[in-house]
Amino acid sequence: MNIAVIGTGYVGLVSGTCFAESGNEVICVDIDADRIAQLQAGRIPIYEPGLQELVHRNVSESRLHFTTELEEAVKQSLVSFIAVGTPMSANGAANLKGVMAAAETVLKAADGYHVMAVKSTVPVGTNDKLRALAAQMRIDRVEICSCPEFLKEGSAIEDFMRPDRVIIGSSDERATAILRELHASFVRTDNPILVMHPRSAELTKYACNAMLALRISFINDIANLCAAVGAEINEVRRGLASDRRIGSQFLFPGIGYGGSCFPKDVQALIHSAAEQNLDFGLLRAAEAVNDRQKHLLPNRVKEHFGENLRGRTFAVWGLAFKPRTDDMREAPSLVVIDELLKAGARVQAHDPEALENARKLFGDRINYYRNNYEALRGADALLILTEWNEFRHPNFQRIRAELKQPVIFDGRNLYDPALMKALEFRYFSIGRPTV
């Protein structure tokens, strides 16, 4: 099938590549000419495990193409997927300018029957707005559907190729059949394709991310209570996770969620509820907990070293909001490092993939190291902000040798407190007694 994918960010590039991998002819489109030039030259502008190999293979086999010419891509395709960004506006609402602009071009360019499916995360009612736009333009040859994505950065290829479910928001039998066929090869293990009203599909995406954000904020509040009363969060977490009604996913305490989805999607859902005169207090509370959690580690640093950190140097391991990505949008590291700098400290940072993105954000305010042990040299303490696998089993003797004093602030609970005690480290973690 011939497909156009509009937008070459995480969602668009992964979606287009995976559709090509399953045998479709795919044209990925972006208004950013530099980005398209990079992709045409074989350079992948984002870090996602396995993506580079898939892109190169499908380009070499002529199933995957990149262009800035949206109209031509639409004319050659039966289906267009809109996967452009919907950044958060100042009031918390999703900014739909990119979606509306792309849709208008698709509506104008479609030659004969065409399916336009929105993969971008959009608030309830966006499908209705697009239908109203089509009616205003007197175009009835394009069927408008919703096909939300459920990709996790760091495992996006696996999530697309083996999804828990595929959701199609469609009121047209022919469009539904086409979208079913496109996704059928990815659900051969009987995971469902759920067809529903477009408004339900739009809301489902937000509801899923909001639920996960609630779980993260809940376990972080429980961790803080554990620290206050002398309980151990890992023991409590295991008790929770063993309950089949609850399960274990997204119940790991830390320094808050970040990234391109949870923060803006929670805000957008709160805003959508407010437009209906509904106060989504539960989500506002989860957001408040998350904001507070990002300040937990710098507060502990100040409790240990004093409010004034001038003359102190801190090593930071982990800058991306999660492992296996270079994405720093809304990352807890942004808050932690900013708090340290405001208190007068110097920061020596390492991340396996996010250094270039960090450099764009911090410039020369911090120092960057390709090697995690080099970042430790002469530091007063180590702060761990991202749970990269490379950090789970380090050489503790080398850490001790490089640091001025053996102090670790672990924002991801990577190490066993008993081991830290045996190695005579001063060790601060989340929801567990200080060693």
The rounded average pLDDT for each run of 10 residues, N- to C-terminus, in the chain (435 residues) is 96 98 97 96 94 97 97 97 92 92 96 96 96 95 96 95 96 96 90 96 96 97 96 96 95 94 94 94 96 97 97 98 96 98 98 97 98 98 97 97 97 97 97 94
Dihedral over Cα of 353, 92, 155, 247: its sign = positive
In a domain, 201, yes or no: no
8 Å CB contact between 129 and 199: no
What pLDDT shows up at residue 88?
A: 86
* 388 conformational bin, left if phi > 0, alpha if psi -120 to 50, beta if neither: beta
Kindly provide the b/e burial profile for residues 182-200, where b requires at least 16 CB atoms within 10 angstroms of the residue's own CB.
bbeebbeeeeebebbebbe
User: Of 162, 196, 230, which residue sits at a domain end?
Assistant: 196
Q: 284 vs 214, 281, 335, CA distance in Å?
A: 10, 5, 19
Distance CA 94, CA 205 (A): 13
Both 268 and 338 in a single domain?
A: no
Tell me the CATH number at 260: 1.10.1040.10
In a domain, 272, yes or no: yes
CA 357 to chain centre: 15
Both 39 and 64 in a single domain?
A: yes
Domain containing 166 equals 2-196
Nearest Cα residue to 124 out of 205, 194, 214: 205
Q: Residue 29 contacts by C-beta under 8 Å, 6 or more apart in sequence?
A: 4, 5, 6, 7, 8, 66, 67, 68, 69, 70, 73
Phi, psi of 127 (to 5 degrees): -60, -40
User: Of 260, 292, 324, which residue sits at a domain end?
Assistant: 292
Distance CA 118, CA 35 (A): 21
Tell me the CATH number at 51: 3.40.50.720
Copy the structure tokens of residue 98: 């990119």
- 261 in catalytic set: yes
User: Of 272, 292, 312, which residue sits at a domain end?
Assistant: 292
What pLDDT shows up at residue 400?
A: 97
DSSP structure string for 126-190: HHHHHHHHHHHTT--SEEEEE----PPTTSHHHHHHS-S-EEEE-S-HHHHHHHHHHHHTT-TTS
Both 35 and 184 in a single domain?
A: yes
Both 280 and 390 in a single domain?
A: no
In a domain, 407, yes or no: yes
Both 299 and 288 in a single domain?
A: no
Distance CA 21, CA 72 (A): 22
Both 288 and 298 in a single domain?
A: no
8 Å CB contact between 16 and 26: yes
Both 41 and 184 in a single domain?
A: yes
In a domain, 433, yes or no: no
Dihedral over Cα of 236, 282, 165, 153: its sign = negative
Distance CA 160, CA 387 (A): 23
In a domain, 434, yes or no: no
Both 282 and 302 in a single domain?
A: no
8 Å CB contact between 126 and 99: yes
What pLDDT shows up at residue 168?
A: 98
Both 116 and 38 in a single domain?
A: yes
Q: Tell me the sheet residues that pair with 25.
A: 2
Tally of domains within the chain:
3
- What is the three-class DSSP state of 366? coil
Phi, psi of 186 (to 5 degrees): -90, -10
In a domain, 21, yes or no: yes
Q: Residue 135 contacts by C-beta under 8 Å, 6 or more apart in sequence?
A: none
Both 224 and 181 in a single domain?
A: no
Both 70 and 167 in a single domain?
A: yes
In a domain, 435, yes or no: no
**Dihedral over alpha carbons 162, 165, 168, 173 (to 10 degrees):** 90
8 Å CB contact between 362 and 328: no
In a domain, 82, yes or no: yes
Distance CA 232, CA 228 (A): 10
Q: Which of 18, 145, 147, 261 is catalytic?
A: 261
Both 234 and 371 in a single domain?
A: no
Phi, psi of 94 (to 5 degrees): -75, 135
Nearest Cα residue to 191 out of 150, 163, 169: 163
Q: Residue 187 contacts by C-beta under 8 Å, 6 or more apart in sequence?
A: 163, 165, 166, 193
